[in-house]
Amino acid sequence: MNQSLPSPGISPFQAEHSPRDEAPQFVLPLVVRIERNAPPARTDALETAARAVLVLLGDERAHGDGEWAQAVRNWEDARIRKVVRRARGAEWRRAEALPGITVAGESAEVRVFPPVPLDGWPKDLAKLQVSGTELDDPEPPAGAGPARPVLWLNPELEMSAGKAMAQAGHGAQLAWWALPDAERTAWRDAGFALAVRTADPADWPRLTGSGLPVVRDAGFTEIAPGSCTVVADHPALRRPGPLSRIPGARG
């Protein structure tokens, strides 16, 4: 699969200024459906957003000569920004009419769109609210199981649901980039199965030092630049040892 990747040794999430910041800035829009009387569960929304990013990255339109490929390359050539907005009712129907992909979870629906210029959002997306998206889990999420990819959230950070959805998407993308083609294909064939969980505080130092992909936020919103937000723990990326037996997590 011919996917464009960022230059070796350069993190798209680095906090410091780099020459890449001089390039035109693009953003990946995601819209979560939040109906007034039927909001999705928080964990399901995070997992669905992460899967939506992977579905777009694995779509034929996003690479090679596909219709979204140039936009994806433009986006990957600078900071990899993702912005999550919310919609309901007619707003959601208008969003669904735009080119993109809707991914459904157990209770969540997220639509991902090809990257757009930072100051060039489609009108029907630009008017959607971006801040203050708060969701709850009706009960703590179950354990993820050792064979399922897990996006571990930093237990020391407080993030809105929208911010956490974007961070989960970053983590999924880093895992995708790190995997060989055969593992990418297997993950795609499995429907990009994954879990998002908050790490146990005792495990967080071990996770961030494990060699697994780590998201370091650029600090545009909510949290300090350089904060480690997510560790992408895909079984194919684990080194032999205790990481394959992480004992606990909390939702």
The 10s digit of each residue's pLDDT in 151-200 is: 999 999 999 999 999 999 999 999 999 999 999 999 999 999 999 999 99
Sequence letter at residue 158 = E
Mean of all residue pLDDT scores within the chain: 86
The pLDDT value recorded for residue 2 is 36
Q: Can you say how many angstroms the Cα of residue 51 is from the centroid of all Cα atoms in its chain?
A: 7
Give the burial string for 35-44 (b: 16+ CB within 10 Å, else e): eeeebbbbbb
Q: Centre a 10 Å sphere on the Cβ of residue 106 and count the other Cβ atoms it contains.
A: 10
Share of the chain above pLDDT 70, in %: 84
Range list of H helices, the chain: 42-58, 69-76, 89-96, 123-126, 161-178, 181-189, 204-208
Domains of the chain: 25-129+141-250 (3.40.1490.10)
pLDDT recorded at residue 9? 33
Using the structure block, give the residue that is written with the tokens 């697994």: 212
Give 3-state DSSP helix, strand, coil % of the chain, rounded to 5. Answer: 35, 20, 50
State the burial class of residue 200 (Cβ atoms within 10 Å of its Cβ: 0-12, 13-18, 19+).
middle
pLDDT of residue 78: 67
Q: Which of 116, 137, 134 is nearest to 125 (CA)?
A: 116
What is the pLDDT at residue 130?
85
With a cut of 50, which residues of the chain have pLDDT below it?
A: 1-15, 242-251
pLDDT given at position 194: 97
**The tokens of 34 are what?**
């939040």
